[in-house]
Amino acid sequence: MAPPLIQLKDIRLTFGGTPLLSGVELSVSSGERVCLIGRNGSGKSTLLKIAAGLVEPDSGSRFVQPGATIRYLPQEPDFGDHKTTLAYVEAGLGPGDDHYQARYLVEQLGLSGDEDPAHISGGEARRAALARVLAPSPDILLLDEPTNHLDLPTIEWLEGELESRRCALVLISHDRRFLSNLSHSTAWLDRGQIRQIDRGFSAFEAWRDEVLAEEEREQHKLDRKIVNEEHWLRYGVSGRRKRNVKRLGNLHALRDQRRNYRGATGSANLAAAEAEKSGRLVIEAKNISKAYGERKIVESFSTRIQRGDRIGIVGPNGAGKTTLVHLLIGNDPPDSGTIRLGANLEMATLDQHRESLDPKSTLAEALTGGRGDHVMVGGKPKHVVSYMKDFLFAQEQMRTPLEVLSGGERGRLMLARALAKPSNLLVLDEPTNDLDLEMLDVLEEMLGDYEGTVILISHDRDFLDRVVTSVIVPEANGRWIEYAGGYTDMLVQRGEDLSRESVNGPAPIAEKKETRATAPSAAPKRRLNFNEKHALETLPKTIAKLQAEIAKQQKLLDDPDLYAKDRKKFDAASSAIAKTQEELAAAEDRWLELEVLREEIEQA
């Protein structure tokens, strides 16, 4: 087995009260892909910061292989006083790192590099932070929720980029599809300790359920044993005193074991307060259009949404998903076309902008609106503590200011507020942001049981596949098309993914194909990207260096007595020359390929 690049041993950390981490062990070897799983608040992010060397545990040891490079992606990057996103990315490079790679990644992630970090969106901040950690090509990548605030095209690009790299990876994410596609092993942080299996996330949930079921059986056996010992204590025949004292001591030990047992955290109890049924027709849109200046957001879109439909709206950030939803629910009038809303509609909405909450107000005030100790749930009063517990908040958090809540806790709070209102139409904008996997399961079950209609915007592919009955996707020039089924079904029908070119290109897909067939000269001119330009500049030097290395090894092998004098040196030189010749052939082929491409572009 390969030696670990990073190893944590007996890590303990307590922030008052119950220990957050109690004897955690984690090791990651070269090329290993580990997904770190656990509920919100279980200590995943803290453990990743300890691995990155940013947080000091109360006790335990951290070992990093000498010379190994680590890059850590936090949930909320600190841009400091950097003037541009490119300056921020380049500041993360080491002495020997390639500045072309920084520029290339900034470009690939949809940034120009000139953005002011003080005035960028959450998605742009996340893309800049990703470019910063990926550019140095580190030995170990520690990624905390890398897909947060990213749109689907960027998530799929990132997935492919990480898959192609050889570095070790420790990954925290709530995106099931992302985890399943990238992870090779799973570390489950539960009640302060880690359990680990050498299988990826796709095997995790079945394994977790087995572990919890076995744990429950063991606790049941312990309870029965305590009952039997207590029965002996009350009614058993007295024997030798020493034996009785020992057995009584064993009973006390069993009771302590039971008392100190930290059971699995309870499940959330999500239920939407449902109003009376709406009419069969919920929303009908006919040829609606919306534009801002020259930019078309929606162009001649029509749809008919009926009671019980689950509609998913997907696409790149900036494509107009939220605008389309506001048009459909009547919050924003179209420039042309008609919107017809069905009878008896009661709507509840979940806004993705959680900043609308007053950070100084308390959790109880946010739920009750600052009025008393009761929440109106479905038109009936319910004590705020009882309602908080339904969403996995502890009673002690009742007076907690919102500004200290984690991202997952803010997400649960927004859901609690939205679901308290009686509704037969749920409009959810990014409901999965920051929610842990267990909370996502409960949300899926709730939406499955909900008798009304659901319209949701999401970038979670697995969540879309599990929940929606149809998907609305943007094409170019403001066109939107509805596909039956979930996200995967849409890809099969559409025939391609949601790349930015296909969605935000100058013409719809069908028109682009026709243009290429009839007027090839109208196609956009191909250009060399940063990686290709850099390779053309540096490959000749690389080839010369490899040729010099081959000559050096060949000089050793030219000695006819080398084999007899030093067999090990002969074998090492033979192996080195063979390997270098392979690298030289690959470098020459790559240079020739790029040179031909450059000439074709110049002649076009």
pLDDT tens sequence across 88-116:
999 999 888 888 999 999 999 989 999 99
Label residue 559 by pLDDT band (50, 70, 90).
confident
Does residue 84 have a known ligand-binding role?
no
On whether both 98 and 236 belong to a single domain, the answer is: no
Query: What's the burial of 93, exposed, middle or buried (CB within 10 Å: 0-12/13-18/19+)?
Result: middle
pLDDT at 510: 34
Q: Has 38 been labeled as part of a binding site?
A: yes
**Confidence tier at 236 by pLDDT (50, 70, 90):** low
**Separation of alpha carbons 183 and 198, rounded Å:** 10
Residues 496 and 537 in one domain: no
Q: Domain of 583: which CATH number?
A: 1.10.287.380
Q: Decide which of 255 and 78 is more confident.
A: 78
Q: Could you tell me which of 494, 497, 475, 499 has the C-alpha nearest to residue 483?
A: 494
With a cut of 80, say whether residue 133 has pLDDT above it: yes
**What percent of the chain stands above pLDDT 70?**
83
Would you say 45 is a known binding-site residue? yes
| Whether residues 128 and 37 fall in one domain | yes
Q: Which of 447, 438, 437, 471 is nearest to 457 (CA)?
A: 471
Domain boundary among 369, 399, 421: 421
Same domain, 456 and 539: no
Of 432, 597, 472, the closest CA to residue 527 belongs to 597
pLDDT for the residue numbered 508: 36
Mean of pLDDT over the chain: 82
Known binding residue 279? Answer is: no
* pLDDT value for 604: 60
Q: What pLDDT, on a 0 to 100 scale, did the predictor assign at position 504? A: 54
512 marked as binding residue: no
**316 annotated ligand binder:** yes
Read off the tokens for 121: 């969106």
Strands 453-457 and 70-73: unpaired
Q: Which long-range contacts (CB under 8 A, 24 or more apart) does 125-129 make?
A: 125/77, 125/79, 125/149, 126/77, 126/150, 127/154, 128/77, 128/79, 128/85, 128/88, 128/89, 129/73, 129/74, 129/77
pLDDT band (50, 70, 90) for residue 582:
confident
Higher pLDDT, 88 or 537: 88
Region 156-170: mean pLDDT is: 93
Verify that 487 and 581 share a domain, yes or no. Answer: no
- Say if residue 569 is in the same domain as residue 496: no
Q: What are the pLDDT digits (tens) for 476-518?
A: 888 999 999 899 889 888 876 666 555 555 433 333 333 333 3
- Residue 511's CB: how many other CB atoms inside 10 A? 15
Last-in-domain residue among 507, 523, 539: 523
Q: What is the pLDDT of residues 389-438, one digit of tens each?
A: 877 777 778 888 887 777 777 778 888 888 888 889 999 988 887 777 87
More confidently predicted of 553 and 232: 553
Asked if pLDDT for residue 282 goes beyond 50, the answer is yes
Residue predicted with more confidence, 584 or 143: 143
CA distances 420 to 190, 384, 388, Å, are 30, 11, 11
Yes or no: say if 495 and 513 are a contact pair by the CB < 8 Å rule: no
Residue 241 has pLDDT above 60, yes or no: no
Which position has the higher pLDDT, 516 or 453? 453
pTM for the structure as a whole: 0.70
> What is the distance between the alpha carbons of residues 226 and 259, in angstroms, rounded to a whole number?
12
Distance between CA 490 and CA 150 in Å, rounded?
A: 20
What pLDDT is recorded for position 519? 35
Q: Is the pLDDT of residue 42 over 90?
A: no
Shared domain check, 337 and 443: yes
Is 44 annotated to bind a ligand? Reply is: yes
User: 200 labelled as ligand-binding?
Assistant: no
What is residue 297's predicted lDDT score, i.e. its pLDDT?
92
Average pLDDT over residues 167-187: 93
Tokens (6 digits) for 144: 């905390």
**Residue 42 assigned ligand-binding role:** yes
- Total number of domains in the chain: 5
pLDDT of residue 254: 60
Q: Is the pLDDT of residue 520 over 60?
A: no
Q: What token pair was written down for 575?
A: 């192996």
Say if residues 348 and 272 touch (Cβ distance below 8 Å): yes
- Across 220-234, 278-292, 500-514, least confident range: 500-514
Query: Taking a C-beta distance cutoff of 8 angstroms, is the pair 529, 104 a contact?
Result: yes
Tokens 């600190």 sit on residue = 78
Neighbouring-strand partners of residue 29 = 4
- Residue 265 forms beta bridges with which residues? none
CB 250 within 8 A of CB 244: no
Q: Given this model, what pLDDT does residue 603 score? A: 66
| Residues 321-334, mean pLDDT to the nearest whole number | 92
Say if residue 118 is in the same domain as residue 248: no
Looking at 334-485, list the stretches that DSSP marks H as alpha helix, in order from N- to C-terminal side.
363-368, 384-390, 407-420, 437-449, 461-467
**d(Cα 246, Cα 248) in Å, to the nearest integer?**
5
**Pick from 31, 265, 264, 268: which is nearest to 166 by CA?**
31
CATH of the domain at 118: 3.40.50.300
Q: Is 315 annotated as a binding residue?
A: yes
Residue 329 has pLDDT above 70, yes or no: yes
Distance, CA of 222 to CA of 219 (rounded, Å): 5
Domain shared by 167 and 40, yes or no: yes
What is the number of other CB atoms lying within 10 angstroms of the CB of residue 24? 23
Same domain, 175 and 309: no
Per-residue confidence (pLDDT) for residue 518, from 0 to 100? 33
Binning pLDDT at 50, 70 and 90, where does residue 448 land?
A: confident
Say if residue 309 is in the same domain as residue 429.
yes
Domain range spanning residue 279?
266-346+422-523
Q: Which of 168, 187, 206 is the last residue of a domain?
A: 206
Least confident of 124-128, 234-238, 482-486: 234-238
Residues 187 and 36: beta-carbon distance below 8 Å: yes
Residues 122 and 227 in one domain: no
Residue 242 confidence (pLDDT) above 70: no
